[in-house]
Amino acid sequence: MLVPLDEEGLAAAARRLLELGVESIAVCFLHSYANDAHERRARALLEELAPGVPVSLSSEVDPQIREYPRLSTTVLNAYAKPRLVAYVDELVRRTGLGDELFFVHSGGGVLPAPVARELPISLVRSGPAGGVLGATFAAGQLGYSNLICLDLGGTSCDVSLVTGGEPGRADTVWADWMVPARVQALDITSIGAGGGSVAWLDSGDQLRIGPQSVGADPGPACYGRGGGAATPTDANLMLGILGGDRLLGGAIDVDLDAAVDALARLGSRLGLDAVETARGVHLIVNTSMAQAVRELTVERGLDPRGYTLVAFGGAGGQHAAHVAAELAIRRVVFPSYASVLSAFGLVTADLLYPLSRSFFAALDSLDLGRLEREYRSLEARALATLGSASGRVVSALEVRWLADMRYSGQLHELRVELEREALARGAIREAFERRHELRFGTSLAGGSVELVNLHVLATRPLEKPTVAAAPAAAAPPAEQTRAVALTDERYAVRQRAALPPRTPIAPRTLVEDVDSTILVPPGWSGRVEDFGHIVIEQQ
């Protein structure tokens, strides 16, 4: 039975919303993923009743089955839309870039400004996505393509996987507990274990790190800005991993006494002094990051020993070797622009437009002609959106077809890439069962298979930045040493900017940069490679 849209009810709801002073409206009808006519009519009415108020339709934001994630995603889009629309419009006005203005999105690509303007939810977690792109680019310069990316900053640690140069992908980002944003995103796991995360004791006197953070202001206790909570940064200063009386090239004065006091207070309940507490903080941060890597690898049937760890962010170099050792990973790469790698990664991105649509069908009775028409329709929309983009485009549009599939009776789907030129039932089943076996270690031969959603990833490659090789130095700089309480040994201290390619890096070395420090513990050694990247390996 077809039921007409209750236009009087919609008008009454719109008037009530305006009385409440709403700045943006989300529309989500139960089955609009299958038929969006009522949502489109609702927008037309809202534009008459509430001119100037942005409207987000679930059939445009997330046209997929399951109403709760579709609703939450649309509401989040509406929440961000007024501010982002104003920002994009002002940026276009000031720069005059127009078609050359792109915005990075969570899927690891960039979108033209008009698309970003209408779909702000697609930009969520674009910063961490930039880190994955930057790590992939930097490691690729050295010939490494199977990567575990470890981005350790001030408030969190982001972990992601790249296999064969292809980052892992997810279809949901959790904006908050039980609030899903169903967007195409890179698969990134975040934990509250950054340099500014708070170290604390739970009710059982167990030492914990994060997720709460001191932020940049007041920052760790050692910043001397009134912060009294102990953090990993305070612990690493106490242990000698960080040294001197200034950080960030002299921009931040260091108060070692404040760090010692904060760590001593934290450890007093456990009967530990400041050094012992600092060692505990360092160990827990390493263990937390190693566990996050296990969740992405071991728990999915992947062996982390087959990957190279790429460590970046301001604090990544202080912990990466210990994390790798715990996971039996033998190689770690420290990109030469580690602290700004996420920003650098943004300029390596391609135009990437993900489109989705629900399409429920049993594989055995699937109308292959209809399936191809649905894919071609999505493809045409992508071409219309990306086809006019200018700027640094270097080649034609590339398109990938994917489908969410499951065995009949399952509640969750697996995303499977399909061959665009071979949409045959046998090939589709084979691709699904191969993916199922890789993910779960088994498949059900002859089991009934269903398609649930269709996805198109349309890409237009953009020109990549040119990165010059690191210059050679006239002579090796003089070495200094510093006591490191982590192992009660002295470490050589070397300045990264003065190390030319091919410089060996010995065990028990601290490599300092303006905004990062690399700890090379006993049992590890390496050298400076081309482009200034440092690679260390377990001996």
Domain boundary among 443, 460, 477: 460
Residues with Cβ within 8 Å of 536's Cβ and at least 6 positions away in sequence, in order, are 321, 331, 332, 334, 505, 520, 524, 525, 526
Answer yes or no: is 518 within a domain.
no
Task: Retrieve residue 231's tokens.
Answer: 């953090």
510, 482 contact by CB (below 8 A): yes
Answer yes or no: is 339 within a domain.
no
**What are the residue ranges of helices labelled H in 240-297?**
256-268, 274-296
pLDDT of residue 477: 60
Question: How far apart are alpha carbons 343 and 151 in whole angstroms?
Answer: 12
CA 333 to chain CA mean position, Å: 18
pLDDT of residue 322: 97
Question: How far apart are alpha carbons 531 and 131 in whole angstroms?
Answer: 18
Question: Which amino acid is it at 404?
Answer: D
First and final CA of the chain: distance in angstroms? 71
Burial of 179 (0-12, 13-18, 19+ CB in 10 A): middle
Answer yes or no: is 324 within a domain.
no
Q: Which residue has the tokens 């090239």?
A: 249
Q: Do 372 and 450 share a structural domain?
A: yes
Task: Retrieve residue 241's tokens.
Answer: 């991993």
472 pLDDT tier (thresholds 50, 70, 90): low
Task: State the Cα angle at 60 between 57 and 61, rounded to 5°.
Answer: 80
Q: What are phi and psi of 88, to 5 degrees?
A: -65, -45
pLDDT of residue 13: 94
Q: Which residue has the tokens 């996971």?
A: 327
Question: How far apart are alpha carbons 11 and 5 in whole angstroms?
Answer: 11
Q: What are phi and psi of 333, to 5 degrees?
A: -110, 130
Q: Which of 370, 389, 367, 373 is nearest to 458 (CA)?
A: 389
Answer yes or no: is 119 within a domain.
no
Question: How far apart are alpha carbons 483 and 115 in whole angstroms?
Answer: 54
Domain boundary among 460, 491, 512: 460
* pLDDT over 70 at 283, yes or no: yes
| Digit-coded pLDDT (tens) for 245-268 | 656 555 677 889 999 999 999 999
**What are the residue ranges of helices labelled H in 387-452?**
425-440
Task: Retrieve residue 260's tokens.
Answer: 């010692």
301, 441 contact by CB (below 8 A): yes
Task: State the Cα angle at 520 between 294 and 275, rounded to 5°.
Answer: 85
7, 45 contact by CB (below 8 A): yes
User: Based on the structure, what is the number of domains in the chain?
Assistant: 3
Question: Which amino acid is it at 90?
Answer: E
**Which residues are bridge partners to 523 per DSSP?**
none
Q: What would the mean pLDDT of 421-428 be, rounded to a whole number?
A: 88
Q: What would the mean pLDDT of 320-335 be, rounded to a whole number?
A: 97
* pLDDT over 90 at 390, yes or no: no
Query: Going along 363-429, which residue ranges are E strands?
Result: 398-407, 414-418
438 versus 400: the higher-pLDDT residue is 400
Is the preceding peptide bond at 211 cis, omega within 30 degrees of 0?
A: yes
Q: What is the CATH number of the domain that holds 377?
A: 3.30.1490
Q: Where in the sequence is the domain holding 247, given as residue range(s)?
A: 198-284
* Predicted model pTM: 0.90
* Residue count of the chain: 539
Is the preceding peptide bond at 82 cis, omega within 30 degrees of 0?
A: no
Q: Do 276 and 372 share a structural domain?
A: no
Burial of 169 (0-12, 13-18, 19+ CB in 10 A): middle
Window from 129-143, 160-174, 262-276, 433-447 with minimum mean pLDDT: 433-447
% of residues, the chain, pLDDT over 70: 95
| HSE of 273, CA atoms in CB hemisphere, 13 A | 4
Question: How far apart are alpha carbons 64 and 55 in whole angstroms?
Answer: 19
11 pLDDT tier (thresholds 50, 70, 90): very high
* pLDDT over 60 at 391, yes or no: no
Task: Retrieve residue 40's tokens.
Answer: 């489109």
Question: How far apart are alpha carbons 407 and 417 in whole angstroms?
Answer: 16
Q: Which of 83, 22, 32 is nearest to 57 (CA)?
A: 32
Q: What are phi and psi of 155, to 5 degrees?
A: -115, -15
Secondary structure of 149-185 in the HEC alphabet? EEEECCCCEEEEEEECCEECEECCEEEECCEEECCCE
| Digit-coded pLDDT (tens) for 481-507 | 999 998 899 999 999 988 989 999 999
Q: What would the mean pLDDT of 350-358 be, rounded to a whole number?
A: 92
CA 93 to chain CA mean position, Å: 30
* pLDDT over 90 at 442, yes or no: no
CA 250 to chain CA mean position, Å: 30
Domain boundary among 64, 91, 118: 91
| Digit-coded pLDDT (tens) for 161-220 | 999 999 999 989 987 778 999 999 999 999 888 889 999 999 999 999 989 999 878 889
Question: How far apart are alpha carbons 304 and 46 in whole angstroms?
Answer: 52
320 versus 269: the higher-pLDDT residue is 320
Query: Going along 81-223, which residue ranges are E strands?
Result: 102-104, 110-112, 147-152, 157-163, 166-167, 169-170, 173-176, 179-181, 185-186, 188-191, 197-201, 207-213
Task: Retrieve residue 192's tokens.
Answer: 């509250």
Window from 90-99, 211-220, 290-299, 383-392 with minimum mean pLDDT: 383-392
* pLDDT over 70 at 476, yes or no: no
Answer yes or no: is 381 within a domain.
yes
Q: What are phi and psi of 9, to 5 degrees?
A: -65, -40
389 pLDDT tier (thresholds 50, 70, 90): low
Q: Which residue has the tokens 């760890």?
A: 309
Q: Which of 516, 475, 476, 510 is nearest to 493 (CA)?
A: 510
pLDDT of residue 129: 94
How high is the mean pLDDT of the chain? 90
Q: Do 454 and 358 share a structural domain?
A: yes
366, 449 contact by CB (below 8 A): no
417 versus 248: the higher-pLDDT residue is 417
What b-and-e string marks burial along 194-215, b requiring 16 or more CB atoms within 10 Å of the CB? bbbbbbeeeeeeebbbbeebbe
